[in-house]
Structure 1
Amino acid sequence: MAEMLLGNVEESVTDEEIGEFLIRYGFPQFSEIQRVPGAGSRPSALVIFNDVTADGLRVLQPRIHNLFWKNRTITALLIPTRDES
């Protein structure tokens, strides 16, 4: 499992639009999206990929980091693997 935080994603953008955007840049289908409200100007979306490793996302992440999409510059940050034991 791997997680990526997409920052500065407009709240009105749907999960389907995020999925289409990611697939366009070579990402696999996500498993889940959790919205993270911002302080008004920079809401985010935590995108969870159950069938991808962190190393797999690390290769893809530069394709979209600092990309201009939907009138905003999107940031893409990998979330370190959590130890759930």
Structure 2
Amino acid sequence: MSRLLLTNIDPGTSDEEIQAFLEKYGFPPFDNLEHEDGDGTHPAVLLTYGNLDPAVLGKLQQRIDHMYWKKRQLSASILHDRFA
């Protein structure tokens, strides 16, 4: 299982827009998308890929990290399981 945290997305962005954006840059469909709570200044989503190798996700993550989308600079981080 691989997880990607995508932060600073535009607050009005739909799940479908996120999927289309990621597909444009070569990401496979995600298995799960969770909106992360926060103070609202940097909305985030946690994407889960059940069958995607973390090394592959790392290559894909580099394509979108610090990219501007919808007038916001995105931050894409891979979350690692500490006790896996």
Structure 1 length-normalised TM: 0.91
1:2-21 matched pairs, under 5 angstroms: 2-21=2-21
Q: 1:82 to 1:34 in 2, by over 3 A?
A: farther
Q: Structure 1: give runs of 5+ residues left out of the alignment.
A: none
Q: Take 2:64 and 2:45, find their aligned partners in 1: how far apart are those partners?
A: 14
Q: Which residue of 2 aligns with 1:62?
A: 62
Deviation at 1:38, TM superposition (A): 2.5
For these two proteins, the number of residue pairs brought into alignment is 84
Q: Take 1:47 and 1:10, find their aligned partners in 2: how far apart are those partners?
A: 16
Detail structure 1 runs of 4+ shifted over 3 Å in the superposition: none
Q: Which residue of 2 aligns with 1:38?
A: 38
Q: Take 1:56 and 1:9, find their aligned partners in 2: how far apart are those partners?
A: 23
Structure 2 length-normalised TM: 0.92
Q: Take 1:56 and 1:21, find their aligned partners in 2: how far apart are those partners?
A: 18
Q: Take 1:35 and 1:70, find their aligned partners in 2: how far apart are those partners?
A: 18
Structural RMSD (CA): 1.3
Deviates more, 1:32-41 or 1:55-64: 32-41
Q: Structure 2: give runs of 5+ residues left out of the alignment.
A: none
Partner amino acid, structure 2, of 1:58: G
Q: Which residue of 2 aligns with 1:76?
A: 76
Q: Take 1:4 and 1:41, find their aligned partners in 2: how far apart are those partners?
A: 19
How many percent of aligned residue pairs carry the same amino acid? Answer: 35
Deviation at 1:71, TM superposition (A): 1.2
